[in-house]
Structure 1
Amino acid sequence: MSLLIAGSIATDHLMSFGGKFADSLVVEQLDKLSLSFLVDDLEIRRGGVAPNMTFGLGCLGLTSVLVGAAGEDFADYRSWLERHGVDCSAVHISETRHTARFVCTTDPTGAQIASFYPGAMSEARQIELAPIVARVGEPDFVLIGADDPDGMLRHTQECRQRGYPFIADPSQQLAFSGGELIRDLIEGAAYLFSNEYESHMIEQKTGWSSDDVLDRVGVQVTTLGKDGVRVTGKGLETLVVQAASGVTAIEPTGVGDAFRAGFLGALTWGLGHERACQVGCVLAAYVVETVGTQEYSFTHAEFLARVEESYGAVAAAEIGVHLS
């Protein structure tokens, strides 16, 4: 059995400018805009929703299969992920495009000038799941995260056709997608992941009510930020699990990806939704306490100590069986 995690693969290039962008703008000359800024620093961070999730699963001792498209510049990133237990053999390498890249400069006021280059991500639509499954075995789940929209649609349709249980996690692509595409990505999913704002966006763009959504998916998992997570489903009693305690929040980027990794890991272990939420919330706590989406680390003993602190000894004991 296996977990296939499909989604964007990207690197983030983050810079800081010491002055204010507004001081360099001449309103009357915006049609001739030509600016250059001397930045103070540069941080290159590993990113993309799919690697973030596979990294988190690796930290829990689980090997997952990364499904996505990258460029020939992916070599160092691949080595990093493989050292953390990720199967990268299914990554499609573009012959002509670089790995997707987010380049952003921020000034002290929080104003940003940014660009996103999709690059090789646009070739995710060329990836077929069946040959991957033939190699790694029938999947427990195929998670289909934010990626090239045509690639997301192809993977969703293939899951339906071949009977692979899939998880819909459109996240960042919701803002750019129309109702028809969103309906196609969600219909028949075993699980639907979103945050609370995204759940309302799904309803607005699809024209579905919350009950309509639950008629079309097995279980809806909605993250609530500092308030934890809510799990709903037809015939299920609504479950709300509080966020992990004792968290010192520094940077939220990648928190949702970490939660999903923990939730999926617990499902793979055969644990129920409550324990899955707890594992996800504790893993998310590590991310929000660090700068960067894959810069955290812990021993299994440290992880279980945080589970016990937040959710009690029984939860830690049941989860600990699988982490030992």
Structure 2
Amino acid sequence: MTGSIATDHLMTFPGTFTEQFVEGQMENVSLSFLVDDLVQHRGGAGANMAYGMGLLGLTPVLVGAVGNDFDDYEAWLNRHGVDTASVHWSELKHTARFTCTTDSANNQIASFYSGAMAEASMIELAPVEKRVGTLDLVIVGPNDPTAMVQHTQECRDRGYAFMADPSQQLAWADGEMIRTLVDGAELLFTNEYEAALLKQKTGWSHAEVLDRVGTWVTTRAANGVRVERVGEETIEVIAVPETRPVEPTGGGDALRAGFVAARQWGLSLERATQVGSAVATAAVEVVGTQEYSLPRESFLQRFEAAFGAEAAAEVAPHLPHSPRNA
């Protein structure tokens, strides 16, 4: 599991951002939002996904770069089943920081300081394989751009199956880099906006993207998830309904964690997508990307209500009876 490791500083704005915009003045934006609260949480796409997989009983190997302020965070991840022995510690920089403000319509404005993440390109995957054994799937998540390209190329060179999850990095990456990150991926994850951006920047059509990946998973927020493969029927899975207020940060990472875990269990694409949807909903009902838990019985009850008894019966044998979810 390669990707960013960061601390999140999350704020809530009681109005909407769009109310503050002045028509005709968008080239000279100078805005300040008075927020209701500020909370600090552990985050980073790589760590978020690893946390979710740990809750589901896997022992994901986290690969990324951190600063010397990582001690408490590392203990937290270890306690939740994450192997951090391949994390690179910077001697000069702090762990990356993500700052995000969410308005009343769940729109977000965010900034990201890379910090130690800039050293992720110093990490190679071969020593990880030597330490832990066969790498079943390498997730190339949002990270230092150079590191993402290097990890992807090393996967190709060494024959590791990999999942492309360029996510936020699509916004500034050029077409050549995006093509490098996506071509040959066993799995490709995007949301709807990222899917459109990917096609625009690469010049590939929808069909051409599908020809270059094994499975393309597109998340669509409240509209659920779409899964596509060449020559097969499209799978559509609903979003599990929320029962509490939603804070969307980290929902996509949780969905990916649930999907990958279920595929590692040997479940079908449809069932894996359903697991991902259920985990994502649990994640967005709390503030913070690693503050949710997945108690076995309540998770299964909710899963059955959304997808039926047969689906729940398939998932049940794989869910851990684990203190990680306490």
Q: Same fold (TM over 0.5)?
A: yes
Structure 2: how far apart are the matches of 1:167 and 1:59? 20
- 1:165 — aligned with what? 161
Structure 2: how far apart are the matches of 1:118 and 1:273? 34
Residues 94 and 248 of structure 1, relative CA distance in 2, 3 Å threshold: same
Aligned-pair identity (%): 59
- 2:218 — aligned with what? 222
Pick the aligned partner of 1:7 from 3, 19, 22. 3
Partners of 1:245 and 1:309 within 8 A in 2: no
What letter corresponds to residue 213 of structure 2 in structure 1? V
Residues 37 and 233 of structure 1, relative CA distance in 2, 3 Å threshold: closer
Residues 103 and 252 of structure 1, relative CA distance in 2, 3 Å threshold: closer
Q: How does 1:127-276 map to 2 (within 5 A)?
A: 127-276=123-272
Q: How does 1:85-96 map to 2 (within 5 A)?
A: 85-96=81-92
What secondary structure is seen at the aligned counterpart in 1 of 2:92? coil
Structure 2: how far apart are the matches of 1:109 and 1:305? 29
Residues 111 and 64 of structure 1, relative CA distance in 2, 3 Å threshold: closer
Q: Does 1:83 align with 2:79?
A: yes
Pick the aligned partner of 1:117 from 113, 125, 135. 113
Q: Does 1:279 align with 2:268?
A: no
Deviates more, 1:298-307 or 1:277-286: 298-307
- 1:62 — aligned with what? 58
Indicate the structure with greater strand content: 1
Shift of 1:63: 1.0
What letter corresponds to residue 182 of structure 2 in structure 1? I
Shift of 1:258: 0.3
**Which structure 1 segments of 5+ residues have no match?**
24-30
Q: Across the two proteins, how many residue pairs are aligned to each other?
A: 311
Residues 121 and 220 of structure 1, relative CA distance in 2, 3 Å threshold: same
- 1:26 — aligned with what? none
Shift of 1:13: 2.5
Deviates more, 1:224-233 or 1:157-166: 224-233
Residues 317 and 165 of structure 1, relative CA distance in 2, 3 Å threshold: same
Structure 1: how far apart are the matches of 2:178 and 2:268? 28
Structure 2: how far apart are the matches of 1:247 and 1:227? 16
Deviates more, 1:287-296 or 1:161-170: 287-296
Shift of 1:37: 11
RMSD of equivalent CA atoms: 2.8
What letter corresponds to residue 92 of structure 1 in structure 2? H
**Which structure 2 segments of 5+ residues have no match?**
21-27, 321-326
Map Cα deviations across residues 16-40 of structure 1 (whole Å, 9 max, x no partner).
Answer: 799xxx99xxxxxxx9x9x999987
Structure 2: how far apart are the matches of 1:309 and 1:110? 26
Partners of 1:247 and 1:285 within 8 A in 2: no
Map Cα deviations across residues 199-258 of structure 1 (whole Å, 9 max, x no partner).
Answer: 111000000000000111111011111111111111221111111135434111100000
What letter corresponds to residue 57 of structure 2 in structure 1? G
What secondary structure is seen at the aligned counterpart in 2 of 1:270? coil
Map Cα deviations across residues 293-324 of structure 1 (whole Å, 9 max, x no partner).
Answer: 11111311111111111001111111001115
Partners of 2:242 and 2:285 within 8 A in 1: no
Residues 125 and 275 of structure 1, relative CA distance in 2, 3 Å threshold: same
